[in-house]
C-alpha cells in the first residue's frame, strides 16, 4: 500500500507558510506502516491541482490531499477533484446543516459563500467536520482512493486520525497486517538509545521482523517505533508485545508512554492512581506546563492550577519566595512549597531558569531548576538545555514533568514493597 500527500496552497509555494501538514501526515502514514514515496505542494489553481493528482494517482494507491476547502473563490480543491473523478459537485444537505449549526453555536449567521463548503463530488463519502466548517472527503477511483482534508492544522490532524488512517488501514486489510507501536522515551538522545538497543538490532537483523526505528520528537522525546508484519493483525500484535517487552527490559523507566500517551497524560494517570493532586509554579516556562496538563481530558481530577510567576515580585509576594536570585535552588524549593500551599495541592512542581536571550542572576542561558514538594520533602534538580529560547522553554517543561513522573514511579514502587 503506497500513499502520497498533495498539499494545496499558493502560500506554501511562495514560502509564506512552511508546509508542516505534509510532514505530519507523512509521520502518521509511516506509523501506520504505509509507504509514502512522494509529497507535492501545489498552488490554488484547478488545472495544476489536477496535474498533481494525476501524477500522484499514476504511482500510488492512495492520495491524501490537504487544503483548498475554504469558502472563498480561491479554494478550488473540490472543483479540481470533481474534474479528476469525472463527476459533478452536488450540495450535501447534511453537511450544509452542520455548517449552519456551527455558525449558530457561535451566535452568527452563515454567509452565503459558506454554501460552497457543502459541495461534494457525486459518490464521495463525507468525513464529518468537527472542528471547522469544511468536511473531509473519501473518493474511491477504481482500486484507488483520494482523501481530502482541510489545511487548517487542528482540523486536518483530527480528521486524518479519526477517518483517513483507519480507512487506509481497512483498505489494506486483505494483505498482510503491518502494525506498529511507538514507545515514547525521555532522557536519552537517539545515538545513546541506539547504543543501548544495539543487542536488539543485532537480534532482529536476522529475521528483519519486527523492525526498530527512532524518531527524534522534540518535547515528546525520542520515540522508538516497533513495526511488525504478519499474516494477521493478532500475530503482528503478538510480535509487537514480545519486542516491546525486550525493549522495556533494556530501557526501563526511560519509556514514558505508548503510542499517543503523552508525558502529561502519564503524570495525570500516576497522580490519579496515588490519589494526589498537583499545583504548579512556573517561571521561565510561563504557563506551558499548565496548558499541557489542562489539555488532558479529565485533568480536573488531579490538576489544581498554577501560579505563573513571570515577574520576580510575584514569586516574592504570592509564592513567598525569599528575596534574592530567582534562578536558584532555594527559589525553586520555595516556589514548589508555595505552589502546593496556595493552590491547595498535594504535590508542588516548580520550574525556574533562564530561557534567554539574556543571562539572569549570573546563570547562563539554558539553566533550569525544577522543584518537587511531596510528602514533606522538597527535591531539586539542576538541568541544562541548549538551543534557542522556544526550545529551552519547551524542553524544560517536558523535563519537569518527567522528573515528577519518575518521583511518582519511585513512590509507588516503595509503597508496593512495604
User: Taking CB under 8 A as the criterion, which residues in 241-270 touch a second copy?
Assistant: none
389 binds a second copy (CB under 8 A): yes
152 binds a second copy (CB under 8 A): yes
How many residues sit in the footprint of a second copy (CB under 8 A)?
122
Q: Which of 130, 242, 375, 410 binds a second copy (CB under 8 A)?
A: 130
Pairing status of strand 211-216 against strand 119-121: unpaired
Based on CB atoms, which residue is closest to a second copy, 122 or 295? 295
Q: Which of 166, 173, 199, 317 binds a second copy (CB under 8 A)?
A: 317
Q: Which of 50, 79, 100, 131 binds a second copy (CB under 8 A)?
A: 131
For residue 245, the minimal CB distance to a second copy (Å) is 20
On whether the CB atoms of residues 46 and 79 are closer than 8 A, the answer is: yes
Give the Cβ contact number of residue 143 at 10 Å.
8
Cell of 394: 519547551
Name 416's Cβ contacts closer than 8 Å, sequence gap at least 6. none
For residue 333, the minimal CB distance to a second copy (Å) is 19
107 binds a second copy (CB under 8 A): yes
Q: Which of 1, 8, 32, 52 binds a second copy (CB under 8 A)?
A: 52
Q: Which of 94, 300, 359, 412 binds a second copy (CB under 8 A)?
A: 300
Q: Which of 267, 385, 405, 406 binds a second copy (CB under 8 A)?
A: 385
> Which residues between 65 and 104 bind a second copy (CB under 8 A)?
70-74, 101-102
> What is the DSSP code string of 337-374?
HHHHHHTT-SEEEEEEE--SSS-BTTBPTTEEEEEEEE
In angstroms, rounded to a whole number, what is the distance separating the alpha carbons of residues 413 and 102? 49
For residue 73, the minimal CB distance to a second copy (Å) is 8
Q: Which of 77, 185, 262, 309 binds a second copy (CB under 8 A)?
A: 309
Judged by CB under 8 A, the stretch of 30-38, 79-87, 248-256, 329-337 that binds a second copy is 30-38
Based on CB atoms, which residue is closest to a second copy, 205 or 377? 205
Kind and range of the H or E run holding 303:
strand 303-308
> Which residues between 272 and 291 bind a second copy (CB under 8 A)?
277, 280, 282, 284-291
In angstroms, rounded to a whole number, what is the distance separating the alpha carbons of residues 398 and 384? 13
Based on CB atoms, which residue is closest to a second copy, 311 or 413? 311
* HSE value, Cβ hemisphere, 13 Å, CA-based, for 199: 7
In angstroms, rounded to a whole number, what is the distance separating the alpha carbons of residues 271 and 165? 32
- E strand segments, 119-254: 119-121, 125-127, 136-141, 144-149, 177-185, 211-216, 222-230
Q: Which of 36, 185, 337, 352 binds a second copy (CB under 8 A)?
A: 36
> Which residues between 325 and 354 bind a second copy (CB under 8 A)?
342-344
Q: What angle do CA 29, 35, 39 make, to 5 degrees?
A: 75
306 binds a second copy (CB under 8 A): yes
Cell of 305: 492550577
202 binds a second copy (CB under 8 A): no
Name 205's Cβ contacts closer than 8 Å, sequence gap at least 6. none
34 binds a second copy (CB under 8 A): no
For residue 418, the minimal CB distance to a second copy (Å) is 30
Q: What angle do CA 19, 2, 118 make, to 5 degrees?
A: 60
Based on CB atoms, which residue is closest to a second copy, 121 or 132? 132
199 binds a second copy (CB under 8 A): no
Q: Which of 370, 372, 368, 407 has the alpha carbon at shortest distance from 279?
A: 372
> Which residues between 166 and 185 bind a second copy (CB under 8 A)?
178, 180, 182
Amino acid at each position: 500500500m503506497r500513499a502520497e500527500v498533495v498539499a494545496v496552497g499558493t502560500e506554501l509555494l511562495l514560502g509564506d507558510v512552511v508546509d508542516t501538514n505534509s510532514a505530519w501526515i507523512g509521520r502518521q502514514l509511516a506509523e501506520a506502516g504505509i509507504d509514502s514515496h512522494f509529497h507535492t505542494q501545489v498552488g490554488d489553481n484547478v488545472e495544476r491541482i489536477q496535474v498533481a493528482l494525476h501524477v500522484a494517482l499514476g504511482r500510488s494507491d492512495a492520495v491524501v490531499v490537504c487544503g483548498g476547502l475554504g469558502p472563498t473563490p480561491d479554494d478550488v480543491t473540490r472543483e479540481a477533484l470533481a474534474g479528476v473523478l469525472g463527476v459533478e459537485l452536488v450540495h450535501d444537505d447534511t453537511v450544509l446543516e452542520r455548517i449552519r449549526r456551527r455558525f449558530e453555536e457561535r451566535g452568527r449567521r452563515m454567509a452565503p459563500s459558506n454554501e460552497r463548503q457543502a459541495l461534494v463530488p457525486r459518490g464521495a463519502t463525507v468525513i464529518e467536520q468537527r472542528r471547522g466548517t469544511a468536511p473531509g472527503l473519501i473518493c474511491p477511483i477504481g482500486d484507488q482512493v483520494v482523501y481530502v482534508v482541510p489545511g487548517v492544522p487542528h482540523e486536518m490532524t483530527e480528521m486524518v486520525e479519526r477517518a483517513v488512517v483507519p480507512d487506509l488501514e481497512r483498505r489494506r486489510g486483505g494483505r498482510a497486517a503491518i502494525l506498529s507501536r511507538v514507545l515514547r522515551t525521555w532522557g536519552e538522545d537517539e545515538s545513546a538509545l541506539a547504543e543501548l538497543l544495539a543487542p536488539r538490532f543485532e537480534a532482529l537483523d536476522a529475521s528483519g521482523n519486527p523492525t526498530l526505528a527512532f524518531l527524534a520528537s522534540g518535547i515528546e522525546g525520542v520515540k522508538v517505533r516497533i513495526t511488525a508484519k504478519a499474516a494477521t493483525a493478532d500475530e503482528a500484535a503478538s510480535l509487537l508485545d514480545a519486542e516491546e517487552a525486550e525493549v522495556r527490559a533494556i530501557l526501563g523507566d526511560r519509556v514514558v508512554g505508548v503510542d499517543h500517551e503523552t508525558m502529561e497524560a502519564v503524570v495525570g494517570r500516576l497522580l490519579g492512581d496515588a490519589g494526589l493532586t498537583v499545583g504548579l509554579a512556573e517561571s521561565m516556562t510561563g504557563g506551558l506546563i499548565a496548558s499541557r496538563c489542562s489539555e488532558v481530558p479529565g485533568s480536573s481530577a488531579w490538576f489544581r492550577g498554577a501560579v505563573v510567576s513571570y515577574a520576580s515580585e510575584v514569586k516574592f509576594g504570592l509564592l513567598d519566595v525569599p528575596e534574592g536570585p530567582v534562578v536558584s535552588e532555594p527559589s525553586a524549593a520555595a516556589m514548589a512549597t508555595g505552589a502546593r500551599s496556595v493552590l491547595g495541592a498535594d504535590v508542588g512542581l516548580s520550574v525556574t531558569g533562564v530561557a534567554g536571550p539574556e543571562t539572569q542572576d549570573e546563570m547562563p542561558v539554558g539553566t533550569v531548576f525544577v522543584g518537587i514538594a511531596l510528602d514533606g520533602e522538597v527535591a531539586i534538580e539542576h538541568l541544562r538545555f541548549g538551543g534557542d529560547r522556544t526550545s529551552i522553554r519547551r524542553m524544560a517543561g517536558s523535563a519537569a514533568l518527567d522528573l515528577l513522573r519518575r518521583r511518582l514511579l519511585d513512590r509507588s514502587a516503595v509503597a508496593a514493597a512495604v
